Structure 1
Amino acid sequence: MEDLYRIATREELDLAVEWAAAEGWNPGLDDADIFWETDPEGFVCIERNCEVIGTGSIVSYGAFGFMGFFIVRKGMRNQGIGAPFWNWRKQRLQERLQPGAAIGMDGVFEMQPFYGKGGFVFSHRNIRMEGVGKASRPDPRLIPLAELPDASIREMDRRCFGFDRERFLSRWIQPKAGRALGYWKDDQLRGFGVVRKCRTGYKIGPLFAQNADIAEALFDGLAAEATGEPVYLDTPESNPAAIALASRKEMQEVFGCARMHLGPIPPLPWQEIFGVTTFEMG
């Protein structure tokens, strides 16, 4: 029987998240709900003999797409299953996007040659750093995002992500287990970040800030949510100040991905990006 490539169901997205957890990717507790609400047609799978044997995402932001969750079930790898599915996913996502739109991904390092053959070009490494959350003195300039103007949050996110993702953002900045903070000074949003509970500890992402001092204040306020627990920050090597921040917080590298693009690489203000949002959705 030939493999069937198709849109995944909500329950099959849960399966993809479970497989991601088994790979050590440490998803957030509410990630699946948010991902599905963002793009319910953005998750696909391989079906063989009525069983799912592979998963992937093809999320559309209209002018930009993102691929992730590329997993073939353990015990079925290295059998020629993944490559044709990956190429189908790429074509399917291109069909969902505006003409000429770029596609991004955060791929594990050992898969870079494969993605390169598919037309993706390396941009930089995103390094997952691990530390321990610590209580901190409250900074009066740190305000819950829910109390700040939506337009300011969307504008900063659009600048640092490169594209509008309002549907995703509206849910992401309201974590059920975690917190979302903005740095408000002189009636302007100078930075914001989100920390969410994961299978292990907490992840901070995104962490956007106009300078390193603001990023550190936000980090301290967010990491306090994880006091005494592991805290993770996915730092782009394209911003040396982000790597320096992680070093000051005595964080250690535990994982990483290669950010790659098919099509034009979006021009982003990397000096303001201290932590990417998520390896699965960009």
Structure 2
Amino acid sequence: MQKYNLDPAFHIERMTLDEFKAVIKWTRTEGWNPGINDAEVLYGVDPEGFLIGKIGDELVCSVTAVIYQKMYAFMGMYIVHPKYRGQGYGIAMWQEAMRRLEELNVEMIAMEATMEQIDHFKKSGFEVGYFHDRFVYHVTGGERETAKVWDVTEESKTDVCEYDAGFHPEVREGFAEKWLQIPGVYAVYWSDRIHGKIMGYGVIREAAEGYRVGPLYAHDVTVASEIFEALCSKAQIGARLCVDIPETNDKGIMLMKNRCGEPCGRLARMYKGKALQPRLNEMFGLYSVKVG
């Protein structure tokens, strides 16, 4: 293994919220297109898992190793400032994050990887679980809400959050509720109001470029399509919407293709440890590729 001579002043510590916001700005130049108001919510999941590498006071690299509750963790925001790439700082950061999770006896770790990174992360014991594809859709102005799609309100928020919890291996206490409170977010759910059962919900939020849709969970593609229409109806004509869909969700992929959505990238969801069997066929849009 190649050895690196790191600057003696390099150190790793817990990231502050302001530092996290600075790192998010880095990701915009890499084409990650995060939501413009995501920082506070993401940081609140597990602040102890946000790590920053510095030389003195200068930010060098970052990684998040966020624990949902106890047994499941998600790694993301693994990025090195261009000035310091190829010098071993990212590796040191990665090793520190993995050490933390091992000490806490986490049973399963998930992460996203570009196609070029897959072999690299396999060396750390990760295996590909599935792939997901990113699509860009441009609002036409012809999208409309239907009678069974309702705005998420204070009265319906608890039921929506309970529905959301069924898509995750462990409860992220208060996360979905806080996600729904992101400034400028618009959220809807699908219910016939007769049986009172929620069959899907979706969220749209402003991003660095256009909007991001996520999550978008639904019982079937018909419900997903109606939710997607309702979300689009709140954006201006021509607005650019990004959505990430598991490639195994054939109907979700076709939904975007039939609407002339443009594929613009693919990432691998990788796991280390206990295998996870998520409800991929009901996932028509992920929260964020950096938080799961």
TM-score, length-scaled by structure 2 = 0.91
The answer to whether the aligner puts 1:54 opposite 2:64 as a matched pair is no
**1:236–1:64: structure 2 CA closer, same or farther, 3 Å change rule?**
same
What are the within-5 Å matches in structure 2 for residues 1-282 of structure 1? 1-62=8-69, 63-96=71-104, 99-135=105-141, 136-147=143-154, 149-185=156-192, 186-227=195-236, 228-282=238-292
**Structure 2 CA distance, aligned partners of 1:139 and 1:160?**
25
Q: Which runs of 5+ in 2 are unaligned?
A: 1-7
Larger gyration radius, structure 1 or structure 2: 2
Once the two structures are overlaid, the 10-residue window that deviates more, 154-163 or 111-120, is 154-163
Tell me by how many angstroms 1:149 deviates: 3.5
Checking the alignment, whether the CA contact within 8 Å between 1:16 and 1:55 is kept in structure 2 is yes
Tell me by how many angstroms 1:100 deviates: 4.7
SS at match of 1:41: helix
Between the aligned residues of both structures, percent identity stands at 28
Once the two structures are overlaid, the 10-residue window that deviates more, 33-42 or 233-242, is 33-42
SS at match of 2:209: coil
Checking the alignment, whether the CA contact within 8 Å between 1:174 and 1:180 is kept in structure 2 is no
Tell me by how many angstroms 1:151 deviates: 4.3
SS at match of 1:19: helix
**Structure 2 CA distance, aligned partners of 1:25 and 1:119?**
25
**Structure 2 CA distance, aligned partners of 1:131 and 1:221?**
14
Q: CA RMSD in A?
A: 1.6
**Structure 1 CA distance, aligned partners of 2:43 and 2:88?**
29
Tell me by how many angstroms 1:37 deviates: 2.4
SS at match of 1:161: coil
**Structure 1 CA distance, aligned partners of 2:248 and 2:169?**
15
**Matched length:** 280
AA paired with 1:209? A
**Structure 1 CA distance, aligned partners of 2:103 and 2:159?**
32
**1:147–1:51: structure 2 CA closer, same or farther, 3 Å change rule?**
closer
Tell me by how many angstroms 1:209 deviates: 0.3
Deviation per residue, 1:198-239 (Å, 9 max, x gap): 011001001100000000001111122223210111011121
**Structure 1 CA distance, aligned partners of 2:222 and 2:169?**
23
**Structure 2 CA distance, aligned partners of 1:162 and 1:223?**
29
Checking the alignment, whether the CA contact within 8 Å between 1:47 and 1:54 is kept in structure 2 is yes
Checking the alignment, whether the CA contact within 8 Å between 1:132 and 1:226 is kept in structure 2 is no
**Structure 2 CA distance, aligned partners of 1:95 and 1:240?**
39
**Structure 2 CA distance, aligned partners of 1:12 and 1:157?**
29
Once the two structures are overlaid, the 10-residue window that deviates more, 48-57 or 18-27, is 48-57
Tell me by how many angstroms 1:148 deviates: 5.1
**Structure 1 CA distance, aligned partners of 2:155 and 2:110?**
30
**Structure 2 CA distance, aligned partners of 1:232 and 1:100?**
31
